[in-house]
């Protein structure tokens, strides 16, 4: 599994750069793709921190994020996050 930096940047739709912080990395057993859970440290309207998950890979040494479009992979991400939270680990 490839590692991603603790802090990385993504481009927003408007072309601006958004700094993100990696929370967790793991691999989907369903797709065998690497998954990153990360945050931009913003707070949603309901007062919770915004957390995102994407497949990630390197293309010519550039980090690329890809939408998770597989329902089973989303269920797996939710299960991993629930387990991490339940075990008292940082999420």
Beta-carbon contacts of 24 under 8 Å, excluding residues fewer than 6 positions away, are 36, 37, 80, 81, 84, 91
CA–CA dist 56, 22 (Å, integer): 12
Q: Give residue-wise pLDDT tens across range 57-69.
A: 998 888 999 999 8
Tell me which H or E stretch contains 77. Answer: helix 71-86
Beta-bridge partners for 10: 18
Give the dihedral sign, CA 71/74/75/76: positive
Q: Give residue-wise pLDDT tens across range 26-63.
A: 998 878 899 999 999 999 999 999 999 999 999 888 89
pLDDT at 83 over 70: yes
Residue 90 — pLDDT band, cuts 50, 70, 90? Answer: low
pLDDT at 71 over 80: yes
């Amino acid at each position: 599994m490839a590692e991603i930096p603790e802090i990385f940047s993504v481009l927003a739709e408007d072309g601006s750069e958004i700094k993100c912080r990696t929370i967790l990395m793991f691999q989907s057993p369903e797709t065998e793709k690497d998954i990153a859970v990360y945050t931009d440290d913003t707070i949603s309207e309901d007062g919770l921190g915004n957390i995102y998950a994407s497949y990630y890979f390197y293309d010519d040494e550039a980090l690329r994020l890809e939408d998770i479009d597989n329902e089973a992979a989303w269920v797996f991400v939710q299960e991993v996050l629930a387990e991490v939270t339940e075990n008292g680990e940082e999420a």
